[in-house]
Amino acid sequence: MKDGFRALLAGRFGREALRAAVGSAEEKERSLDRRLWRELGDAGFFALRLPEADGGVGLGLPEAVLVFEEAGSALLPGPLVATHLAAGEVKGAATGETVVTDVDGQLVEWLAEADHVRGDASGARAIRSVDPLTPLHRVGSAQTGISDAAVLLTAALQLGSAGRTTAMAVKYAGEREQFGQPIGAFQAVKHLCAQMLVRTELARAAVYAASVTGEGLDAAGAKLLADDAAVRNARDCLQVYGGMGFTWEADVHLHLKRAWVRSAQGPTAAQVEERYAAAL
Amino acid sequence: MDLTYTEEEEAFRIGLREWLARTLPMLPPKPDPLDWPARRTYDLGWQRRLYDAGYGEVHWGATPTQHLIFLEETEEAGAPYVGANFVGLLHAGPTIAAEGTDEQRARWLEPVVRGEEAWCQGFSEPDAGSDLASLRTKAVRDGDHYVVTGSKIWTSHAEVADWCELLVRTEPISPAAPKHRGISWLAMPMDAPGITVRPLRTLAGSAEFAEMFLDEVRIPVANRVGEENDGWRVTMVTLSYERGTAFVGEVVACRRTLGLLAAAARENGRWDDPVLRRTLGRLSAEFGALWRLTQWNVSEAQRTGGVPGTGGSVFKLRYSHARQELYEAAAEVLGPDSLDLAQEWTADRLSSLSYTIAAGTSQIQQNIVAERILGLPKGR
Ligand SMILES: Cc1cc2nc3c(=O)[nH]c(=O)nc-3n(C[C@H](O)[C@H](O)[C@H](O)COP(=O)(O)OP(=O)(O)OC[C@H]3O[C@@H](n4cnc5c(N)ncnc54)[C@H](O)[C@@H]3O)c2cc1C
């Protein structure tokens, strides 16, 4: 399943498609690739956890996090989590015919593109989203209850990004030469990369475990660690890339910006830390 | 550490403060940050006002203490940043002032001081970033000219500059001539035939820096500052200014931002989070100390005469990280609004990502501190 989905993404949303999407988003034709959305539907991305009797794939959260991790790694745009969670509840969500978004606290992603909005988006105001591939609206409302599954799947997206930036940094460190040797030979660079892996693996353990236990607290903790891994790895990757990391051309900033957006979804770090503290 | 000011210095401060209070309200509106030609006009216009008021040469003509007072007062009053004049006023300018001939000083400093010419810095190359001394842009002597061919990268403001401080190789690297030898420092007119500038976009979306391709560009030998093949030493003078004094004003700016952040947090309720409060408190202590460190570095430079020392690396190392932490804290204060590019702090947060890379990466600064200050053995 994971491999199949990885192959689908490599074919349909590889680096060129990612950059083309950034380009067209910049020309203000910020639109979701509906064909790709349908193909995701056909591949079972949205119906993954629907029972087979209801036309779904009949798998569970442990499989879903693996697939979402791949989506995060590819920086696949769109309200993936909301549409996945709406499968079986909102008509056409499971097949990718309908795009569904959620009002999550004070933000809504892809509001203008969505066919169906869950939650109260009245008074929504468009902001200039820092992430070129995630249009955002601000809403005034207080936090709506976001499900544990949504928190965990968002964490899986972050995990995928953290893994990808680690791989990008390691590849660059092995190729870029300064002072007559690959920069990865310098301990300072090596240690940055090593810490990236440590963060990724810790987040991975938390995400995978939470997908098995199904506990809300585990999901929140996984999100906390995956947010941290995604944001800090993107920053360290930027540092390893040097001046190149500060360019629009390199993909590093796309990972960082998406990681910032995903970090703002669901409970805040402060809320999760307080929950863990209270449970001690 | 001498923290007292002479009567003369205090008078300088008061005079400047009064002038700023009169002048700042008369400035034209700030240009669009993405419009570099407009920014050039604005930045040079500001320099012209400074010149007319007698502050034009303060970046190298005044005593270091006066320079510090100038940076402190202009920043506190919210005066425009040097911007497109960064290299001219804080980089190439001080280098020419220290290393140039009388003729060169007269030719190049005057127009910078009068707000007539802007400079850019052509040091880095695609294969020579941290390892700057391995640069390969080659200059071949042809009578009283150098013929220069090669490419430069990350040249900030190249599109709006009149001059470029250019590092070239005047002698190829060989066992007899190690890479640090054989470099020369040239002033290149940006309108010379053979220069192609290709803008590069930053992750913030602006075309702030560029690639520069040089194809047999003819530069008069008279434009060389310092001796032939002695450019590395001249460069070290330039870089010590970059790390020593070029960021001073920004420390004051950071202290102002902290005050604004606290006010915003009090207003939107985030001040109730003790973790955020303490982060802001700690940063405030740090920026206070960074300011003291600057004063100290400057008074040392004044005492020993001239060029700021390796203390600049200590400063730059902590400052660049502290400033990144400042904008992380700003994102906490802003909450979901931190994802809105229309927020000034969001744009600043993006820019701050370059601080640990530009002007020598943090890894390189740590090597300098460890090897040159602490005397630890040199690694490869
Ligand atoms: C916003 C911005 C503006 C700039 N403006 C200018 C300008 O106007 N003019 C100009 O000439 N240049 C400019 N630069 C270039 C800047 O000086 C270089 O980016 C910087 O020196 C790093 O070089 P690099 O990008 O080639 O990175 P690299 O040298 O390739 O470094 C990549 C990574 O390897 C690490 N590394 C390299 N060597 C070592 C080592 N020995 N030990 C440990 N780690 C090491 C670095 O720390 C970094 O993490 C600018 C850069 C930026 C980001």
CA A227 → CA A137, A161, A206, A262, B41, distances in Å? 21, 10, 12, 7, 43
* Structural domain contains residue B379: no
Which residue's alpha carbon is nearest to atom 7 within ligand 1? B155
SS3 B166: strand
Residues 42-101 of B with CB under 8 A from A: none
Q: Are A203 and A209 in contact (CB under 8 A)?
A: no
Phi (first) and psi of residue B306, to 5 degrees: 105, -120
> B337 and A127 in contact by Cβ < 8 A?
yes
- Which of B130, B154, B342 faces A178 most closely, judged by CB atoms? B130
Give me the residue label for tokens 């940076």: B71
**Residue B306's pLDDT band (cuts 50, 70, 90):** low
* Structural domain contains residue B235: no
How many Cα atoms within 13 Å fall on the side-chain side of residue B354?
18
* Nearest-angstrom CA–CA distance, B333 and B48: 38
- Which of B205, B339, B356 faces A239 most closely, judged by CB atoms? B356
Greater pLDDT, B62 or B96: B96
* Nearest-angstrom CA–CA distance, B59 and B90: 7
* Structural domain contains residue B378: no
A92 and A208 fall within a common domain: no
Beta bridge partners of B184: B168
CA of B236 to the centre of ligand 1 (A): 16
**Residue B256's pLDDT band (cuts 50, 70, 90):** very high
Residue of A nearest to B357 (CA): A242
What's A153-213 look like in SS3? HHHHHHHHHHHHHHHHHHHHHHHCEECCEEHHHCHHHHHHHHHHHHHHHHHHHHHHHHHHH
Give me the residue label for tokens 């408190």: B281
pTM of the full structure: 0.96
Phi (first) and psi of residue B145, to 5 degrees: -125, 155
User: Chain B contacts of A253, Cβ < 8 Å?
Assistant: 203
Q: pLDDT value at position A62?
A: 97
B290 and B344 fall within a common domain: yes
* Nearest-angstrom CA–CA distance, B7 and A140: 55
* Nearest-angstrom CA–CA distance, A237 and A255: 10
* Structural domain contains residue A134: no
B332: pLDDT strictly greater than 80: yes
* Nearest-angstrom CA–CA distance, B85 and B117: 8
Q: pLDDT value at position B60?
A: 79
User: Chain A contacts of B367, Cβ < 8 Å?
Assistant: 188
- Give which of B287, B350, B313, B304 is closest to A235, Cα–Cα: B350
> A242 and B127 in contact by Cβ < 8 A?
no
Give me the residue label for tokens 């030719």: B107
Domain count, chain B: 3
Q: How far is A104 from chain B (nearest CA, A)?
A: 11
Burial class (CB in 10 A: 0-12, 13-18, 19+), A87: buried
* Structural domain contains residue B303: yes
Domain boundary among A44, A77, A102: A102
User: What secondary structure letter does DSSP report for B167?
Assistant: E
Q: Which residue range(s) make up the domain with B51? A: 7-118
Active-site residue, B328 included: no
pLDDT above 70: percentage of residues in chain B = 96
CA A224 → CA A15, A136, A198, B272, B273, distances in Å? 28, 22, 15, 21, 18
Q: pLDDT value at position A186?
A: 98
B54: pLDDT strictly greater than 90: yes
With the most atoms of ligand 1 within 8 angstroms of its CB, the residue from B127, B352, B361, B369 to mutate is: B361
Tell me whether B124 touches chain A (CB under 8 Å): yes
Residue of A nearest to B205 (CA): A248
Q: pLDDT value at position B323?
A: 97
Atom of ligand 1 at shortest range from CA of B202: 1
Tell me whether B350 touches chain A (CB under 8 Å): yes
Mutation site, B134, B354, B363, interface A, largest A CB count within 10 A: B363
* Structural domain contains residue A165: yes
Catalytic one among B117, B125, B159, B242?
A: B242
Q: pLDDT value at position A5?
A: 92
CA of B130 to the centre of ligand 1 (A): 5
> B203 and A129 in contact by Cβ < 8 A?
no
Helix residue ranges per DSSP H, B205-310: 231-244, 248-268, 274-304
What is the pLDDT averaged over residues B245-266? 90
B272 and B292 fall within a common domain: yes
* Nearest-angstrom CA–CA distance, A206 and A162: 14
Tell me whether B352 touches chain A (CB under 8 Å): no
Q: Are B211 and B237 in contact (CB under 8 A)?
A: no
Q: Domain with B20 in it: what CATH number?
A: 1.10.540.10
> A179 and B134 in contact by Cβ < 8 A?
yes
* DSSP E strand stretches across chain A: 100-104, 107-109, 116-118, 125-127, 136-138, 177-178, 181-182
B81: pLDDT strictly greater than 80: yes
Give the helix/strand (H/E) hosting A19.
helix A15-26
B243: pLDDT strictly greater than 80: no
Q: Domain with B276 in it: what CATH number?
A: 1.20.140.10
Q: What residues have CB less than 8 Å from A122, skipping those under 6 apart?
A: A139
Beta bridge partners of B252: none
* Nearest-angstrom CA–CA distance, B231 and B251: 30
User: Chain B contacts of A138, Cβ < 8 Å?
Assistant: 336-337, 340
Q: pLDDT value at position B310?
A: 66
In which residue ranges of chain A is pLDDT below 70?
Answer: 29-30, 141-144
Encoded tokens for A218? 């585990």
Phi-psi region of B277 (alpha: psi -120 to 50; beta: other; left: phi over 0): alpha
A95 and A9 fall within a common domain: yes
What is the pLDDT averaged over residues B59-84? 88
A275 and A193 fall within a common domain: yes
> A260 and B339 in contact by Cβ < 8 A?
yes
- Give which of B363, B218, B347 is closest to A192, Cα–Cα: B363
> A242 and B356 in contact by Cβ < 8 A?
no
With the most atoms of ligand 1 within 8 angstroms of its CB, the residue from B86, B154, B156 to mutate is: B154
**Residue B59's pLDDT band (cuts 50, 70, 90):** confident
B159 and B79 fall within a common domain: no
> B202 and A246 in contact by Cβ < 8 A?
yes
Which residue's alpha carbon is nearest to atom 44 within ligand 1? B363
* Structural domain contains residue B240: no
CA of B126 to the centre of ligand 1 (A): 10
Residue of B nearest to A240 (CA): B357
Q: Are B70 and B16 in contact (CB under 8 A)?
A: yes
* Structural domain contains residue A79: yes
Q: pLDDT value at position B1?
A: 66
User: Chain B contacts of A177, Cβ < 8 Å?
Assistant: 127
Q: Give the full edge-to-edge strand order of the sheet including A107-109.
A: A116-118, A100-104, A107-109, A136-138, A125-127
Domain count, chain A: 2
What is the pLDDT averaged over residues B79-102? 92
Instruction: Name all residues whose Cβ lies below 6 A of ligand 1.
Output: A 176, 178-179, 183, 186, 188-189, 239-240, 242-243, 246; B 121-124, 129-130, 154-156, 209, 354, 357-361, 363-364, 367
B338 and B317 fall within a common domain: yes
B308: pLDDT strictly greater than 60: no
Q: Domain with B221 in it: what CATH number?
A: 2.40.110.10
- Neighbouring CB atoms inside 10 A of A94's CB total 26
Greater pLDDT, B249 or B27: B27
Give me the residue label for tokens 């997908």: A211
B309: pLDDT strictly greater than 80: no
SS3 B128: strand
pLDDT tens string B113-130: 999 999 999 999 999 999
* Nearest-angstrom CA–CA distance, A106 and A144: 9
B355 and B329 fall within a common domain: yes
What is the pLDDT averaged over residues B251-279? 96
Residues 182-201 of B with CB under 8 A from A: 200-201
Question: What is the pLDDT of chain B when averaged over all its residues?
Answer: 92
Encoded tokens for A53? 């009797």
Phi-psi region of A131 (alpha: psi -120 to 50; beta: other; left: phi over 0): beta
Encoded tokens for A263? 């970090």
Q: What residues have CB less than 8 Å from A159, skipping those under 6 apart?
A: A65, A69, A72, A200, A203, A204, A207, A226, A229, A230
Residue of A nearest to B274 (CA): A270
Q: Which residue range(s) make up the domain with A98? A: 2-102
